[in-house]
A and B are shown apart, each in its own frame.
Chain A
């Protein structure tokens, strides 16, 4: 199955005050499928491997040079997920999010934290 992947996009609020906790949203258009197919729909659900699995395995969040979060995921994450998480505004520095999928491919997106 052809994979349609678009580079991730990040959204950070523009009016961030020093010391406050702010939200970061990251959208990554990456297909995700378990690769499982239902063998028999009438009995108890039975699954087998129908197609190759594809998913975002890791998401790493850096604030400045520091790794602040690591999200470890499985094929049960949705297609094209939108991740929302929070950070504490302690410095004006870039926020970098790195995605690594199950095939080891890597994408990243960056946003700047600037105090209002």
Chain B
């Protein structure tokens, strides 16, 4: 083994050790979670929504109990204008506890007049928290979740 190679290995181990300490410290300060959270906007107070939140948070209709997880009806509506320079670009439906997490991403244009989608998705059995993310072309991504209980899993 060459001296140069040995040197780079030693350097790698030193960096790995520094990284091994730095990453948990960085995470424990909440910096990673803050950075991730900044990618999405949530309702600060769900009982007292601001005008901005009312406009950007998707209104999700999902039954509290779904009998057949292979046919879970979901409807997403928005009270957002669909102007040429300010509109909802997309709506995404996700359930992180399912084997297939993303159900679909639905892209819109101002020609839609209203960002609205109704469809049926597959949900795994048990308690589910379905997330809906709406993306505004000016104000980023806005996420809400809806809980449901699935009697017979459909995945």
Known: A21-B114, A87-B112, A88-B82. A74 touches B154 (CB 8 A): no
Interface size on B, residues (CB 8 A): 33
B117 at the interface (CB under 8 A from A): yes
B107 at the interface (CB under 8 A from A): yes
A78 at the interface (CB under 8 A from B): yes
* Residues of A near any B CB (own CB < 8 A): 21, 23, 32, 34, 36, 45, 47, 63, 66-79, 81-90
Query: What are 19 contact pairs spanning A and B, CB under 8 A?
Result: A21-B113, A32-B122, A34-B122, A36-B99, A68-B109, A69-B106, A72-B105, A74-B100, A74-B103, A76-B95, A76-B121, A78-B154, A82-B120, A85-B112, A86-B113, A87-B111, A87-B112, A88-B110, A88-B113
Interface centre among B95, B98, B109 (most CB of A within 10 A): B109
Q: In the complex, which of the residues A34, A79, A88 contacts B155, with contact meaning CB atoms closer than 8 Å? A: A34
Known: A47-B155, A71-B106, A74-B104. A83 touches B111 (CB 8 A): no
* Residues of B near any A CB (own CB < 8 A): 70-72, 75, 82, 95, 98-114, 116-122, 124, 154-155
Interface of A is mostly: strand
Give the residues in chain A near B95, CB-CB below 8 Å. 76
Known: A78-B119, A86-B116, A87-B113. A47 touches B99 (CB 8 A): yes
Chain B, Cβ-Cβ closest to A35: B100
